[in-house]
Amino acid sequence: MIVQRMNVNAKKGRILELIEFLKEDRKRGGYNYRLYQSNLGTFDQVSIELEFDDLAAHEKFWAEWNALPETPAFFKKWDELTKSGGTNEIWSLIE
- Predicted pLDDT of residue 76: 97
Q: Is 53 exposed, middle or buried (0-12, 13-18, 19+ CB in 10 A)?
A: exposed
The answer, yes or no, to whether residue 2 has pLDDT greater than 90, is: yes
The answer, yes or no, to whether residue 21 has pLDDT greater than 70, is: yes
Residue type, 54: D
* Higher per-residue pLDDT: 7 or 93: 7
The contacts found for 11-16 with CB under 8 angstroms, 24 or more apart, are 11/44, 11/80, 11/81, 11/82, 11/83, 12/44, 14/44, 14/80, 14/81, 14/82, 15/44, 15/46
pLDDT digits (tens, 9 = 90+) for 32-82: 799 999 888 889 999 999 999 999 999 999 999 899 899 999 999 999 999
- Predicted pLDDT of residue 30: 64
